[in-house]
């Protein structure tokens, strides 16, 4: 949803809705994207551990794969829990226009 919003775009066919705002993705879409990132990062850890086990005879290579696989769960949790920042909403409020006091004299009628 990279559109800036504001402009009305014509739908492809009559059943498609017209985009008139730049609304943020729904909570469910955000959650699905974060869950997908978490699964991908945790799936990258498994090959690192297997490669560390297969390359044990070359200690520095096995240690490198192990060093990569150790912080991956922590990084995956941080990325999965990260939500996009909330938009700052500028609320439209009434601004009273200050008027200058008139300097001319007015006729006062006493009753």
For residues 106 and 79, which has the higher predicted lDDT (pLDDT)? 79
Burial category of 14 from C-beta neighbours within 10 Å (exposed 0-12, middle 13-18, buried 19 and up): exposed
The span from the CA of 104 to the CA of 68, in Å, is 81
Q: CA 20 to CA 8: how far, in whole Å?
A: 5
CA angle 70, 72, 75 (to 5 degrees): 130
pLDDT(1) > 50:
no
- Residues 3-50: pLDDT tens digits? 444 554 555 555 666 555 666 778 888 889 889 999 999 999 999 999
Band of the pLDDT at 108, cuts 50, 70, 90?
confident
What's the whole-model pTM score? 0.53
Report the pLDDT averaged over residues 84-100.
68
């Amino acid at each position: 949803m990279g559109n800036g919003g504001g402009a009305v775009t014509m739908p492809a066919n009559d059943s498609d809705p017209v985009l008139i705002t730049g609304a943020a993705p729904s909570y469910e879409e955000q959650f699905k994207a974060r869950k997908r990132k978490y699964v991908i990062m945790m799936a990258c850890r498994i090959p690192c551990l297997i490669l560390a086990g297969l390359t044990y005879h070359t200690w520095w290579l096995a240690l490198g794969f192990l060093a990569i696989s150790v912080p991956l769960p922590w990084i995956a949790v941080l990325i999965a829990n990260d939500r996009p920042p909330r938009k700052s909403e500028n609320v439209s409020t009434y601004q009273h226009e200050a008027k200058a006091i008139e300097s001319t004299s007015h006729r006062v009628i006493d009753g």
